[in-house]
Structure 1
Amino acid sequence: MKSYTIDFQPLGQRGECREKESLLDCAHRLGVGISSICGGRGTCNTCRVKVISGTLSEPTDSELEALSAQELGDGWRLACQAIPSSDCQIIVPPESMSTSQRICVEGLEATVPPEPAVIAYHIRLTAPSLSDQQADTNRLLEALNEQYQLPCRHIDINVLRSLSPQIRDWNWECQAAVRDDEVIAVSPWPSQQLGLAVDLGTTTIAGYLVDLSSGQTLAVEGTMNPQIDYGEDIISRINYVVKRPNKRAVLQKLVVDKLNGLAANLCSEVGVDVEAIVEMVVVGNTAMHHLLLGLPVKQLALTPFVAAAGMAIDIKARELGIKIAPGAYVHLPPVVTGFVGSDHAAVLLASNTHQVEGLTVFLDIGTNTEISLVNGQGITTTSCASGPAFEGGHIKHGMRAARGAIERLRITGDVIDFQTIDEAPPLGICGSGVVDAVAQLYLSGIIDDGGRLIDKHPRVRMTGNQAEFLLVDQTKQDGHPEIVLTQKDIRELQLAKAAIRTGIQLLLETNGFTEEQLGQVVIAGSFGSYLDLSSAVTIGLLPPLPLNCFRQVGNAAGMGAKLALISLAKREEGQAATFRSRYIELATDPDFKKIFIETGHLGRYWIKNNRREMLENG
């Protein structure tokens, strides 16, 4: 089989590309991080690279649509579509690298009395003698019963394998970590008993190291989910695994290795060994939950979108390859449905929904947006495929919320002021920047309420047969390409925000309420934390409530995971909320299409009788 040498610059990484292998697949195999929101289907345009030398396959239809004739002539290609036929030198620009994005780990903090699943007991053992030849295991279990009236019956096999030498080294005094009726770890007395709460997101992972005896958070770390190189949205990642069944184990190992690294980093920060972690709680959307457990995911993307497992799962950490205490468990709370996972249930738990007064909507905005309506009568939940536009996907110069992304933007006449993440030179525009840009274009009269660019503005131009608005001129870009917002980009945002607003409206309608009766909208998640609320209302993403009715709560899923780690009562409360949630499928509602069309429009409006009632901007 033929192979070619590919030189990826400016990374300085070289390797062999197999015959008929795309540049993207080659890069991933070699560990070169190239972004691919769509999972290599040629639809997101985030894997743009520049060919300096070498020959490749002819541009595909996807490339001809995504790249102008000028760009193709300059050597720009989509890595997922281009197949080398010789040795090549490739430049991966900063905006195409799967670099770390800004990760939100903060959120609502709640103080609860510690009541963890694992309890530490101080044990004094009697040394054996010729008159007392009781086995070490029996001696330990008997001591637990005598000293704490704890009828413990089991000792984890890995604990058992090292028990005898350890208790002798510790002079017959130790600390036993007990979960239900099983000893899952022994350690010298006194030792810290720690837990790890994890919000396993599609794009990012947040970990919280907690002292189980006090409930105090000792260390926090956010990191990227390494699976993003195989599809940045849920459906792309599912499709990747379905088409390549042998890759499911690869994706599972990627995230397990990342969790092990996360645990090691957090423990190193506080000066303890990873075996001090005796319990782990992981929340995530249903696809992340299934991929971690090695469960099938194909059915998640097929009607009627059914999860393989819906109950809470407690599994030995070692069965997943997670390296913490010898007999520790990983607890995964129940998922709601195929597209509403335990992460959204954790948001509801952290938000104390049982204490909510009045009518409240909870939103966790992403490529798949989960929405819940909570009132005194219960919880109604739905999800909508809002697409990757909020994470910079399907946007010509879109990127994740990483260094150099435009995140804030204001237009005054012909002058555009913008703010980038880390105040770095602009490389592209992230989701919050796109929302700001469209809001400003609308308020400035550069686009109408249907989202159409008006070509009289000096920054509006035609490229091919498509209108675009010049956000950043090439003369200010220090060699980087200019940044534009195209008519297609605006349509992508309109589709995304229409899906969410339709979801809110149909949840209200199903329960006999209107938008004007809403008392509060709670917005969770990383994107929601950085969203400009005024811009979101201006484009009709959110109802035109007073801005003090909106609450941005950060990573509430991570906070909910911590609560489930610290308190069994909270764990049970979260499970009860999950099981009493009523799920509605938006696509089957007869009003869905009418409301979706109406909510695609920009501006401040209420939805009444499936129609927009426009309000003045202000």
Structure 2
Amino acid sequence: MRLKIEFEPIGRRGEFPQGITLWESACNLGLALQTPCGGQGKCGRCIVKIAQGEVSPPTPADYRFLSAEQIAQGYRLACQAKPLSDCRVYIPPESLSIAQRLQLEGQEIPAKPEPAISTFNLTLTPPTLDDLRSDAERVIQSLKISHGVEASVDFAVLQELPERLRSQGWQLKAVVRQGEIIALLPPEAAPLGLAVDLGTTKIAAFLLDLESGRTLANRGLMNPQIPYGEDVISRITYAIQKPGAAAELQKVVVEAINRAAEEMCAEVNAHPSHIVEAVIVGNTAMHHLFLGLPVSQLGYAPYVPAVQGALEVKARELGLRMASGAVLYMPPLIAGYVGSDHVAALLAAGFDEIEGPALLLDIGTNTEICLAYRNGQPGKSPLTSLSCASGPAFEGAHITHGMRASPGAIESFSLEDDEVKFQTIGGLPPIGLCGSGILDVVAQLRKAGVIDSSGRMGSHRKLRKTDGQLCFVIAERGEGLPPIVFTQKDVREIQLAKGAIRAGIEVLLRERGLSPAELQEVVLAGAFGTYLRPESALEIGMLPKLPLERFRQVGNAAGAGAKAMLISTTMRAKAEKLTRQVEYIELAAVPDFAEIFAKAILL
């Protein structure tokens, strides 16, 4: 009996005979787990979490290295656990011997630091029998006398005020925000800010000096919600079907952000209590799950968010470990499937001012697309956005040897003079195909005539039949491992994904009465947009055929936009104004979308 095993967040999957361990399954897929003991259960380093399915009972080695609580939560040693059914397994970052590649940086926006906070150094006189003013009164009066600033004290700051004053020798830096003292820092400490791009798959976090605007540290990590579902629909379903599930999804993300903040602060010899402001952007589902807002209404038409405008929340209310009175700014959303990450990306790409016609695409499981056209038809909005369900194929899901961008993934591919050439991440032996490599394969096979415009495979010396379907052999592997192949079914998956994106573009262009040739610029954002080759996207018709110089790859634009809003209230105002200028198109309401999509899937 063979069982299907899927490893997240890598996105590798395969079928294996019952009776072998999860560690052996991972090795067969080329995944490098931490196993200094060689899989003997002696080091406790190969910890995984069983997200779905059944495995063999815990062994003495499991009980030696894992707590009873961890075992109850589904954690096991991969070298000990044997699947008893199909399983989905989550590998924590610390259990992987090589980290995944994450896109952190994006094209920066010139933004003058104009933070929402102000800082004031105070030197107070200690109380005496002749001066019995309260500690709070002493701070408030000193702030007014020394700096002419009137402010109240946040209640949580008040609770720690006496100890803080005395431990710091009555010298402090008061952080004031909108007439309220939200933190008392050591005099030498810089007020810090945290910007986070909370993606469905990946999280990018940045630590900034709010006064200089300088980025001090950054961290990239996989979203720990992945074991609960690869896409937002799966997580929404999980959140509404199981009691306490929504709180669980919120908790794992909050803890991940807290750990990232602690690591970045340690890197720059600071403390999380020095973080006084935060900005977090994400799609609407991530936004709602993080804030603990209801998500059931996002799962069915008309997909209405619980709230759309910008929010300011005390960070402590969400469990974020920062300064006692630190404030979290959540930028506005556009629609049920177009969130504040899209707003941040538009801001970073200059779409608040660009004349156009220009497109911005952030390609992912849900691809957000915006058309900017300020000199268009009278009465029309300057920005039009939509979201198309492109699916997870470009992240390796549903592709036979697909995987996320990790060491050993084929990231580029060419078919030159009938010879296969490829490059893997890290120069390691190939173990699968990530998004950019998948796109290259389809483009090169189409260019070489191996597949026709309908996506059907024809003839080639590297085509063979496996399990009743044609497949193209990408790479042979030794040691009894099966070759890496690209199947007819894989081609169909990419046609569906690219068709959704191209159909979305066509709807936007038609709405504004434009032809593809009139586009002056196409901006590609996000990790996939950074690493894909525009030539490949053009070859398969995913993007309009335009001169290559009209394409601009900007990296993590959402992260760049979040950083700009963190250090500048002017940028926040721009983002909020930009959001009001966006007209949203719901593809479900486009009568002939099925016809547009049918044409768009052709290669």
TM-score norm. by structure 1 comes to 0.83
SS of the residue aligned with 1:451? coil
2:138 aligned residue: 139
2:571 aligned residue: 570
> 1:374–1:487: structure 2 CA closer, same or farther, 3 Å change rule?
same
1:42 aligned residue: none
> Counterparts of 1:166-565 in structure 2 under 5 Å?
166-376=164-374, 378-454=382-458, 456-473=459-476, 476-565=477-566
User: What is the CA-CA distance between 1:316 and the residue it aligns to?
Assistant: 1.5
CA distance in 1, matches of 2:287, 2:317: 15
User: What is the CA-CA distance between 1:128 and the residue it aligns to?
Assistant: 3.1
CA contact (8 A) 2:4 2:14 kept: no
1:34 correspondence with 2:7: yes
Question: Which amino acid is 1:469 matched to?
Answer: F
SS of the residue aligned with 2:164? helix
CA contact (8 A) 2:276 2:322 kept: yes
> 1:54–1:449: structure 2 CA closer, same or farther, 3 Å change rule?
closer
CA distance in 2, matches of 1:403, 1:490: 24
CA contact (8 A) 2:190 2:274 kept: yes
> 1:175–1:591: structure 2 CA closer, same or farther, 3 Å change rule?
same
CA distance in 2, matches of 1:471, 1:125: 71
User: What is the CA-CA distance between 1:557 and the residue it aligns to?
Assistant: 0.4
CA distance in 1, matches of 2:481, 2:469: 22
CA contact (8 A) 1:141 1:152 kept: yes
SS of the residue aligned with 1:252? helix
Q: Percent identity?
A: 47
Deviations 1:259-281 (CA, angstroms, capped at 9, x unpaired): 01100110111111111111111
Question: Which amino acid is 1:466 matched to?
Answer: Q
CA contact (8 A) 1:345 1:578 kept: yes
User: What is the CA-CA distance between 1:171 and the residue it aligns to?
Assistant: 3.4
Question: Which amino acid is 2:419 matched to?
Answer: V
Candidates 84, 90, 93, aligned match of 2:82: 90
CA distance in 1, matches of 2:322, 2:244: 27
CA contact (8 A) 1:403 1:422 kept: yes
User: What is the CA-CA distance between 1:146 and the residue it aligns to?
Assistant: 2.4
CA distance in 2, matches of 1:36, 1:218: 27
SS of the residue aligned with 2:367? strand
CA contact (8 A) 2:362 2:525 kept: yes
CA contact (8 A) 1:200 1:206 kept: yes
User: What is the CA-CA distance between 1:413 and the residue it aligns to?
Assistant: 4.2
User: What is the CA-CA distance between 1:52 and the residue it aligns to?
Assistant: 5.0
Question: Which amino acid is 2:601 matched to?
Answer: G
User: What is the CA-CA distance between 1:471 and the residue it aligns to?
Assistant: 1.4
Matched length: 538
CA contact (8 A) 1:193 1:277 kept: yes
CA contact (8 A) 1:360 1:521 kept: yes
User: What is the CA-CA distance between 1:134 and the residue it aligns to?
Assistant: 2.1
SS of the residue aligned with 2:8? coil
Deviations 1:32-56 (CA, angstroms, capped at 9, x unpaired): x93279xxxxxxx95435345289x
Q: Which runs of 4+ in 1 moved over 6 A?
A: 85-88
CA distance in 2, matches of 1:110, 1:333: 17
CA distance in 2, matches of 1:418, 1:208: 33
User: What is the CA-CA distance between 1:355 and the residue it aligns to?
Assistant: 2.6
SS of the residue aligned with 1:435? helix
Moved more, 544-553 or 143-152: 143-152
User: What is the CA-CA distance between 1:172 and the residue it aligns to?
Assistant: 2.7
1:111 aligned residue: 110
CA distance in 2, matches of 1:182, 1:461: 70
CA contact (8 A) 1:49 1:96 kept: no
CA distance in 2, matches of 1:460, 1:542: 28
SS of the residue aligned with 1:226? coil
CA distance in 1, matches of 2:129, 2:90: 68
CA distance in 2, matches of 1:460, 1:241: 44
Question: Which amino acid is 1:90 matched to?
Answer: K
CA distance in 1, matches of 2:52, 2:272: 43
Moved more, 528-537 or 571-580: 571-580
SS of the residue aligned with 1:34? strand
Question: Which amino acid is 1:105 matched to?
Answer: L
User: What is the CA-CA distance between 1:482 and the residue it aligns to?
Assistant: 1.5
Deviations 1:446-484 (CA, angstroms, capped at 9, x unpaired): 000111000x312222234322212122xx343432211
> 1:149–1:439: structure 2 CA closer, same or farther, 3 Å change rule?
same
CA distance in 1, matches of 2:154, 2:537: 52
1:122 correspondence with 2:125: no
Coordinate RMSD, CA, aligned: 2.5
SS of the residue aligned with 1:282? strand
Moved more, 128-137 or 338-347: 128-137
CA distance in 2, matches of 1:486, 1:23: 18
1:593 aligned residue: 594
User: What is the CA-CA distance between 1:90 and the residue it aligns to?
Assistant: 3.2
CA contact (8 A) 2:280 2:328 kept: yes
User: What is the CA-CA distance between 1:522 and the residue it aligns to?
Assistant: 0.4
CA contact (8 A) 1:286 1:337 kept: yes
2:74 aligned residue: none
CA distance in 2, matches of 1:479, 1:268: 45
CA distance in 2, matches of 1:96, 1:465: 29
2:38 aligned residue: none
Question: Which amino acid is 2:510 matched to?
Answer: E
SS of the residue aligned with 1:355? coil
CA distance in 2, matches of 1:298, 1:481: 42
Moved more, 237-246 or 388-397: 237-246
CA contact (8 A) 1:283 1:557 kept: yes
CA distance in 2, matches of 1:139, 1:328: 22
Deviations 1:136-185 (CA, angstroms, capped at 9, x unpaired): 212211222222222212x1222112212322343332110111111111
SS of the residue aligned with 1:387? coil
CA contact (8 A) 1:410 1:436 kept: yes
Question: Which amino acid is 2:147 matched to?
Answer: Y
CA distance in 1, matches of 2:501, 2:106: 22
SS of the residue aligned with 1:245? coil
